[in-house]
Chain A
Amino acid sequence: MITVTNLSKHFGTVQALEAVQFRLDEGELFGFVGPDGAGKTTLFRILVTLLVPDTGNATVDGLDVVKDYRALRARLGYMPGRFSLYPDLSVEENLTFFASVFGTTVQANYDLIKDIYQQIEPFKDRRAGALSGGMKQKLALSCALIHRPRVLFLDEPTTGVDAVSRREFWEMLQRLKKGGLTIVVSTPYMDEAGQCDRVALIQEGRLLQIETPSAIEAQYNRPLLAVKAAQRYPLIQALRQYPHAHAVYAFGEYVHYTDARPTADVQALRAYLDTQSLTHIEIKPIPASIEDAFMELMHEPTT
């Protein structure tokens, strides 16, 4: 569905993308995960024909993103990073407008957006500017879908949206995927990566790895401990100073600690932390989540 070879793009002195390469199958729900400024938006803009790459090429649905951009534009759905809606138009007017711009009507494709649009339909006369983040997101998704695209590009669709709406949104994407739509999503939230069929980790313009979420979790091979103490910040400090520490980062109410050795010595670590005047110490080995795997990948120096 999407083939990208050796794609590079720079802005001034900043290398936004460097030799990016991947393939994406039809009907896949594919995620790009990476921090802000990693190059996600640049990559999306190249794929939706809004930017021309410096080198390399990319095809979407068999069409070249540079040469065949006109034909391609009719086949793709795009939801830019900011919810690109007209705040002074009502919910219904926004949807009608985007339908008409793509030469179709809301009625013709209502079945496709019904699930999503029904949730905001009670507010159809409300101005889009007065919607909550979650509702804006649903409206923007409806607008991006209204012309029945072959492939959907969603650039950080869950940024700035509450947790419940985020979960609902991913459920919607799963349903769309079942309908056969190819979906490409980017997100800065690593926990969302588990929802995708395959995930690409992107950092500083490079793709670090492309795998299924379970494969990424499985390849994590370091001993991982969740540590907790009454004093959180001193705990992080103490762990970082521990001679065998490989990586230490806060993770919810726990601090995740990985050991540099093949196996971690929980007893010795507890003894060490006791000497650091920490109280209510709790240590337990845990299986790696996808976030741990990403932290580890990003921790490794790229070559």
Chain B
Amino acid sequence: MKTFQGFVTKEFLHIFRDRRTLLILFGMPIIQLILFGFAIRNELNDVQVAVLDLSHDHVTQALTGELLHSPYFEGAAVLHSEQDIEAAFQRGAIKEAILFEPRFAQRLHRDGTAQVMLITDATDPNSAQTMVAYTSSILRDYQTRTFGTGSGVRIVPEVQMRFNPELKSVVLFVPGLIALILMLVCALMTSITITREKERGTMEILLVSPLRPLQIIIGKVLPYVLLSFINVVTILVLARFVFGVPVRGNLVLLLAECLLFIVCALAFGIFISTRAETQQTATMISLAGLLLPTVILSGFIFPIASMPLPLQYLSHIVPAKWFLIVVRGIMLKGVGLEYLWQETLILVGITLLLLVASLRNFNERLE
């Protein structure tokens, strides 16, 4: 046990001595979160809108006033006919057009419903959906305020997504980011730290020492489990308090699943290092073989459902895909293990498979 302790202590020293390792370990997650966080913004500020009011009554004027005086929207063009809408979009002058039907107030009072059309520029699907949500909520607020709930009066928004009518599901970046960072930190770092011993020739001495292969592997990996876990917590805290991403489900379950994914990523790292002889090879394999699939095939950025079939099958062996389902489930839908046990089992399976393969591959000799 003392032997093992000494080994783990040494690993921590390696990490804290190497500024580059530290930077990747702790700097990168924060930088990525900030970058992604502000690049994929959910809140709106001063979106250019135009209102085409075909009714000109007191209700539409009140609504227009509410919309344009909110901090989210600003009037950007004056529209006189439906033809103007198309032109304004194409000029890029507006992101959203709001169209009130003729005799809006009259219909609202007589029939109880009136229609308003929300047309958005959906080339950026995320902001398009957010715009619709914001507009709808302003309309709804006005409706409840003026007519009360249960009055039967409804303003019906009809949504039209321009340029991207099928609109992909909103990408919520935090789960994907956790997967990405953990893959990078765990897999890349462990594969590098083990191959570094091979390159320096110190592996020869470690092998000759009474340390067992399992001890060497666990000793290598343990510090990274700990540090990666700190990373996960950092990301979650930042996500919650800087970007307001909620954790609707069980926090303990979420952390446990993250831990599972950390071990899975580490297992990948170990597996790579049993194969690669140099740090360079290990880096290349980690980047090409793990990072790219994690970004592209996990559903982080591109929805898996819209990929060609072969790629969909390929995505099944990308752990990040299952992890994303789990994390999105817990964080955003607030569901528990009863809905996520299959994905969890798959992750456990992949991890065990890799660990067993690595241990078999890990040679107690030099050949």
Contact = CB atoms under 8 A, between A and B. Distances in A.
A binds B: yes
Interface of A: 45, 48-52, 69-70, 73-74, 76, 78, 80-82, 84-89, 93, 96-103, 143-144
Interface residues of B, number: 26
Contacts of A78: 204-205, 208
Given A50-B366, A78-B204, A80-B205, 19 more contacts: A50-B208, A52-B367, A73-B208, A73-B210, A76-B208, A80-B201, A80-B204, A81-B201, A82-B200, A85-B200, A86-B200, A87-B200, A88-B13, A89-B17, A93-B13, A101-B209, A101-B210, A102-B209, A103-B2
5 contacts: A50-B204, A51-B367, A88-B17, A103-B2, A144-B205
Nearest to B206: A101
B25 to A, nearest CB: 15
B202 A85 contact: yes
A85 B207 CA distance: 14
Contact of B201 (A76, A82, A88): A82
Nearest to B364: A69
Nearest to B209: A101
A89 B202 CA distance: 13
B6 A97 contact: yes
Contacts of A93: 10, 13
Interface of B: 2-3, 5-7, 9-10, 13-14, 17-18, 200-202, 204-211, 364-367
A102 B14 contact: no
Contacts of B7: 97, 100-101
A102 B366 contact: no
7 closest residue pairs by CB, A with B: A100-B6, A84-B201, A88-B17, A82-B201, A84-B202, A50-B366, A101-B209
A127 B207 CA distance: 23
A265 to B, nearest CB: 53
A89 B14 CA distance: 7
Contacts of B366: 45, 50-51
A125 to B, nearest CB: 13
Given A80-B205, A96-B6, A103-B2, A89 B13 contact: yes
